[in-house]
Amino acid sequence: MTIEHLVNLAYIISAVLFVFGLKLLTSQSTAKKGNLMSAVGMFIAVVMTLLIKDIIDYKWLTVGIIVGGIIGAFAARLVVMTQMPQMVALFNGFGGMASLLVGWAAYRVMYNFDLFTATTIFIAVLIGGVTFSGSIVAWGKLATVISGRPILFPGQTVLNSILFIGTLVAGGILLMDAPISPVMLVTIILLSLILGVMAVVPIGGADMPVVISLLNSYSGIAGCAAGLAIQNNILIVAGALVGASGIILTNVMCKAMNRSLSNVLFGGFGASTVQQEGGPEGEVKPISAEDAYFILEAADSVVFVPGYGMAVAQAQHAVHELERILEENGRDVKYAIHPVAGRMPGHMNVLLAEANVSYDKLVEIDDINRIIEEVDVCVVIGANDVVNPAARETKGSPIYGMPVINVDKSKTVIVLKRSMAAGFAGIENNLFYKENTRMLFGDAKSSLEALVAEFKKK
């Protein structure tokens, strides 16, 4: 068996590990095993690739491993769960930049003109550049370095169209005269970076879960194109897996918001606060932690509905402690998880897993809505738009038709919130004015700790 055959066999093993690892990532209980399996697959692929002669300067490889390893270790240890969406956005961006650099390197060693290779280089550079700069903007919005609201201005769509057409023209020139067109390659890189910024700035913070999953798909497509450019089978497979899974997840996110991808990308959703015609009816009924204790103490079933407010307050451990006390007192406790709650897909799942909440207690939106009328108390922790009944009741609302958790149909709702401020959609929440809703104002973590203290005291 030649070294090439051995490397290709290792690539097949790595690809199998990637597929099974991705399958295991679909469940929280097996996610760690899936992550480890995928990491082992990538380790095998990297080691076997390095067996090919003259593929890299090992001095620079060693430097890269050491520097990258140190940065990665510190980042993983220091990042808090509330900053995980920002971390994911950066990962997507770095993946895009890596593909761009691979495409650039492949262009530099392309001594003989090859239309197919030149095309894959163009795709890798274009999508890689868009992914990198777009992900940096997404990171800035998530980290509040820049405004989370959509940034819109007159002629924006026209400008984006000109940038895109200009990139395609530069790509066409590159493909017609690839060996002597380094200026066109640099032009494509610059235009792709600008296009990435312009593509993400019009998107509001409420749509970041969709943007992150879409950019993740872009990074995979760019990686696949880079693999085609350098004829590396495992990079093609890995990129295709990431690209396909990202597109599937993006579609799931869009369905969860009852919006099309084009509306997310070009709708400027959340650019201004929306005033609903007529306004909600009813009065807000604030309560104290002691009042909330008596409501929970009398309940047989309790459902917690977490949102980004729980992440900001870092209240996941407090809610888990309250869950434990309620179960010790014979209450049935569940968690209702909306697909787009938080700032990235699975954000709430990650936070609750950090607090050791059992995965079996997490219930998806369709399943909880079937039994919501039988629930005694729903405790909404920092969620807003994903529990807003305007999605069912107000036809003129921007979120009308969006699947929401129907907490207002439960017997009693306790909303933990700092104030009456609107959520990311900029829409007043009709839930706050419902007859069966009680508002427990304050920091979510402090409110939950106060409830725990009431149970322990009583």
Residues 351 and 311 in one domain: yes
Q: Does the residue 71 lie in any domain? A: no
Residues 334 and 430 in one domain: yes
Residues 313 and 364 in one domain: yes
Residues 262 and 298 in one domain: no
91: helix, strand or coil: helix
Average pLDDT of the residues of the chain = 86
Q: What is the mean pLDDT of residues 214-237?
A: 92
pLDDT (0 to 100) of residue 274: 47
Backbone angles phi, psi at 384, to 5 degrees: -135, -80
- Tell me how far apart the alpha carbons of residues 355 and 314 are, in angstroms, rounded to a whole number: 10
114: helix, strand or coil: coil
Task: Report percent pLDDT > 70 for the chain.
Answer: 90
Check: CB of residue 185 under 8 Å from CB of residue 104.
yes
Q: Does the residue 18 lie in any domain? A: no
- Tell me how far apart the alpha carbons of residues 313 and 326 are, in angstroms, rounded to a whole number: 21
Residues 258 and 293 in one domain: no
pLDDT (0 to 100) of residue 273: 46
Residues with catalytic function: 385
Residues 256 and 372 in one domain: no
| 179 or 442, which is more confident | 442
Task: Report percent pLDDT > 90 for the chain.
Answer: 44
* Token pair listed for 356: 């050791």
Residues 231 and 173 in one domain: yes
The CATH number linked to 336 is 3.40.50.1220
pTM here is: 0.79
Residues 255 and 307 in one domain: no
Q: Last residue of some domain: 266, 298, 313?
A: 266
Strands (E), 280-376: 301-306, 332-337, 362-364
Residue 205 sits in which domain range?
Answer: 79-266
Q: Does the residue 3 lie in any domain? A: no
Question: How many domains would you assign to the chain?
Answer: 2
H-assigned helices in 201-232: 208-230
Q: What is the mean pLDDT of residues 68-78?
A: 86
